[in-house]
């Protein structure tokens, strides 16, 4: 007879459910689903390192104003720059519609980011100090960002501080009770972020939250207060480039000019790009008509017009011909400076002086233009017999 107690379901969990707070239960389940959606392992920004499909549908996409820390910030703000909201912008429209997936734009798109020349939008050193001071926080940050915990400082120093120039969909991660929780959000234009070497935003500086590519959220509703000028149809989703980029072409928010910022720098090397985009920053619509990325200097650049030449191929090394020497003519010119010194030839054999007589076989027997050695020169100095001169000049 089988033991009937084996089939009896345990009661403690079911008994507790009626007493749990509905709001807390819903938030816990949603956070768990988002965490599965947004914390896939992989190298930061590497192609194929984006998040896996959500295990459960995402219900909400949080709207986050540029300067607000948002829920459960990882650290205090390290933002040093950020565009304030446009007070003259029209009211938000379409917020009641499902939250947008975002128009896909590569991280190398010129004008996608902005900043002030020679000014870093984030204080990377403070970000490193905040995280490394708390081991639990550092561990959760590294897991969310997909990097080794031991390399947090090095990874942050390799990022580039800029500000967003479009409302941008991301997967963000908050920190609560010693753990990271992922959630979907839209970051407002002007948000200060740190961008990796694939052009993807990886840290939100107002809260220190690690960022990843957005997860699919079909039918999800907006959460939070929309800002003036917000339009769901103009939200973008930034995709990492397939190769490492060495610089980003950004917009100088101070005067609407183009800046080239080397990736991994804080603005000290900012300069005017050699090939600026074909439109003015003030009139370029990066969302609907993004300018093409500039050619990367890591790949050979092809000419765009007959007046834009490429580097010529290397010239083959030319070997000068040997001078012609007559059997009875004057001695040849001394060898070039590249030749071995006359007093230290290979093999230790003495070299005939320019006025030495020419051998009977003639100079054509030797590969050089120098006359062949005489019989006396071929013998060692100590064994050669003392011979008188056989002829006179």
d(CA 4, CA 98): 50
What pLDDT is attached to residue 93? 63
- Tens of pLDDT along 9-33? 444 443 344 443 443 334 344 344 4
| Average pLDDT score over residue span 348-365 | 48
Top-confidence residue, 61 or 24: 61
Q: Regarding beta strands 209-212 and 113-115, do their DSSP bridges make them parallel or antiparallel, or are they unpaired?
A: unpaired
d(CA 182, CA 348): 79
Residue 67 tokens read as 């300067």
The more confident residue out of 55 and 78 is 78
pLDDT tens-place string over residues 174-215: 999 999 999 999 999 999 999 999 999 999 999 999 999 999
Q: What is the 3-state secondary structure (H, E, C) of the chain?
A: CCCHHHHCCCCHHHHHHHHCCHHHHHHHHHHHHHHHHHCCCCCCCCCCCCCCCCCCCCCEEEEECCCCCCCCCCCCCCECCCCCCCCCCCCCCCCCCCCCCCEEEECCCCCCEEECCCCCCECHHHHHHHHHCCHHHHHHHHHHHCCCHHHHHHHHHCCEEEEECCCEEEEEEEEECCEEEEEEEEECCCCEEEECCCCCEEEECCCCEEEECCCCCCCCEEECCCCCCCCHHHCEEEECCCCCCCEEEEEECCCCEEEEEECCCCCCCCECCCCCCCCCCCCCCCCCCCCCCCCCCCCCCCCCCCCCCCCCCCCCCCCCCCCCCCCCCCCCCCCCCCCCCCCCCHHHCCCCCCCCCCCCCCHHHCCCCCCCCCHHHHCCCCCCCCCCCCCCC
Q: How confident is the model at residue 94 (pLDDT cuts 50, 70, 90)?
A: low
Beta strand 236-239 with 221-223: parallel, antiparallel or unpaired? unpaired
Check residue 123 and give its pLDDT.
97
pLDDT at 345: 42
pLDDT 10s digits, 290-317: 998 876 544 433 443 333 334 444 455 5
Closest by CA to 163, choosing from 184, 185, 186, 194, is 194
pLDDT digits (tens, 9 = 90+) for 135-153: 999 999 999 999 999 999 9
Q: Which pLDDT does position 204 carry in this prediction?
A: 98
Of residues 81 and 93, more confidently modeled: 81
Q: What is each CA distance from 176 to 21, 196, 241, in whole angstroms?
A: 18, 25, 32
pLDDT recorded at residue 17: 41
Rounded-to-integer distance, Cα 218 and Cα 98, Å: 8
């Amino acid at each position: 007879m089988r033991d009937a107690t084996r089939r009896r379901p345990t009661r403690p969990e079911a008994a507790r459910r009626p007493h749990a707070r509905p709001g807390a239960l819903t938030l816990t389940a949603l956070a768990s689903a988002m965490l599965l959606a947004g914390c896939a392992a992989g190298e930061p920004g590497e192609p194929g390192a984006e998040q896996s499909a959500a295990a459960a549908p995402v219900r909400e996409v949080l709207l986050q104003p540029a300067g607000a820390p948002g829920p459960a910030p990882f650290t205090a703000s390290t933002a040093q720059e950020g565009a304030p909201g446009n007070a003259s912008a029209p009211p938000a429209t379409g917020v009641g519609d499902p939250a947008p997936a975002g128009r896909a734009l590569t991280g190398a798109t010129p004008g996608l980011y902005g900043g002030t020349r020679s000014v870093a939008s984030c204080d990377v050193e403070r970000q490193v100090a905040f995280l490394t001071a708390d081991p639990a926080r550092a561990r959760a940050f590294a897991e969310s960002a997909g990097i080794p915990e031991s390399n947090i400082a090095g990874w942050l120093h390799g990022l580039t501080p800029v500000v967003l120039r479009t409302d941008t969909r991301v997967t963000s991660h908050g920190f609560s009770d010693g753990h990271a929780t992922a959630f979907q959000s839209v970051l407002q234009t002007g948000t200060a972020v740190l961008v990796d070497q694939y052009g993807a935003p990886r840290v939100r500086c107002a809260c220190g939250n690690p960022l990843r590519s957005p997860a699919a959220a079909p039918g999800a509703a907006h959460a939070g207060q929309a800002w003036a000028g917000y339009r769901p149809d103009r939200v973008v989703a930034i995709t990492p480039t397939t190769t490492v980029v060495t610089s980003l072409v950004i917009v100088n928010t101070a005067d609407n000019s183009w800046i080239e910022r080397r990736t991994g720098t804080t603005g000290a090397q900012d300069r005017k790009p050699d090939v600026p985009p074909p439109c003015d920053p003030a009139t370029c619509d990066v969302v609907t008509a993004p300018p093409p990325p500039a050619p990367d200097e890591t790949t050979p650049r092809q000419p765009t017009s007959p007046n834009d030449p490429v580097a010529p191929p290397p010239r083959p090394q030319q070997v000068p011909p040997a001078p012609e020497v007559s059997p009875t003519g004057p001695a040849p010119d001394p060898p070039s400076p590249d030749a071995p010194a006359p007093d230290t030839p290979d093999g230790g054999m003495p070299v005939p002086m320019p006025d030495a007589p020419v051998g009977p076989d003639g100079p054509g027997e030797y590969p050089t233009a120098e006359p062949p050695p005489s019989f006396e020169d071929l013998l060692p100095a100590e064994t050669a017999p003392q011979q008188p001169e056989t002829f006179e000049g």
